[in-house]
Amino acid sequence: MPASVEVDPGLSIISLLLRRLKQDPNDVLIEIQQEDGSWSPVTARQFESEVVEVAKGLAALGVQPGDKIAIMSRTSYEWALLDYAIWSAGAVSVPIYETSSVEQAQWICSDAEISAAFAETAAHSLILEAVRPQAPSLKQIWQLGQGAIAALKEVGAGVADSEIDRRRAALNGADLATIIYTSGTTGRPKGTELTHGHFVRLTDNTQFDTSETSVHPVIAAPGCRTLLFLPLAHVFARFIQVVAISTKTVIGHCPDVKNLVPALGTFKPTFLLAVPRVLEKVYNAAEQKAGSGLKLKIFRWSAKVAIVYSRALDTKRGPSWWLKQQHKVADKLVYGSLREAMGGRTKYAVSGGAPLGERLGHFYRGIGLMVLEGYGLTETTAPIAVNRLNRQKIGSVGLPFPGCAARIADDGEILLKGVNVFDQYHDNPAATAEALRGGWFHTGDMGYLDDDGYLFITGRKKELIVTAGGKNVAPAILEDRLRGHPLVSQVVVVGDARPFVAALVTLDEEMLPGWLANHGKPPMSPAQARKDPDVWASLERAVARTNQVVSRAESIRKFVILDDDFTELNGYLTPSLKIKRGRVLADFAKQIDRLYEPGPDKRRAAP
Domain range summary for the chain, segments of one domain joined by +: 13-270, 273-344+347-461, 464-595
> What pLDDT is attached to residue 356?
81
Evaluate if residue 52 carries a pLDDT over 80.
Answer: yes
Over residues 514-545, the pLDDT tens digits come to 999 888 999 999 989 999 999 999 999 999 99
Altogether, the residues listed in the chain come to a count of 607
β 191-195/176-181 pair status: antiparallel
Assign 570 to helix, strand or coil.
coil
Quick one: residue 580, left, alpha or beta (phi over 0 = left, psi -120 to 50 = alpha)?
beta
Could you say which DSSP state residue 88 is in? H
Quick one: residue 375, left, alpha or beta (phi over 0 = left, psi -120 to 50 = alpha)?
beta
Q: Tell the burial category of 332 from Cβ atoms under 10 Å away from its Cβ (0-12, 13-18, 19+).
A: exposed
Over residues 87-146, the pLDDT tens digits come to 999 999 999 999 888 999 999 999 999 999 999 999 999 999 999 999 999 999 999 999
Cβ count near 155 (within 10 Å): 15
Q: Of 419, 439, 376, 423, whose CA–CA distance to 198 is shortest? A: 419
The model's pTM is 0.88
Over residues 346-399, the pLDDT tens digits come to 999 999 877 787 889 999 999 999 999 999 999 999 999 999 988 899 989 999
Which CATH code is given to the segment(s) 13-270? 3.40.50.12780
Topology match between the domains 273-344+347-461 and 464-595:
no
Over residues 21-31, the pLDDT tens digits come to 999 999 999 99
In this structure, are residues 501 and 556 in contact, taking their beta carbons and an 8 Å threshold? yes
| % the chain with pLDDT above 90 | 75
Q: Where are the beta strands (DSSP E) in 378-526?
A: 382-386, 399-400, 404-408, 413-418, 424-425, 436-437, 440-449, 455-460, 465-466, 472-473, 488-494, 501-507
CATH of 273-344+347-461, picked from 3.20.20.70, 3.30.420.40, 3.40.50.12780, 2.40.50.1070, is 3.40.50.12780
In CATH, which superfamily holds the domain spanning 464-595? ANL, C-terminal domain (3.30.300.30)
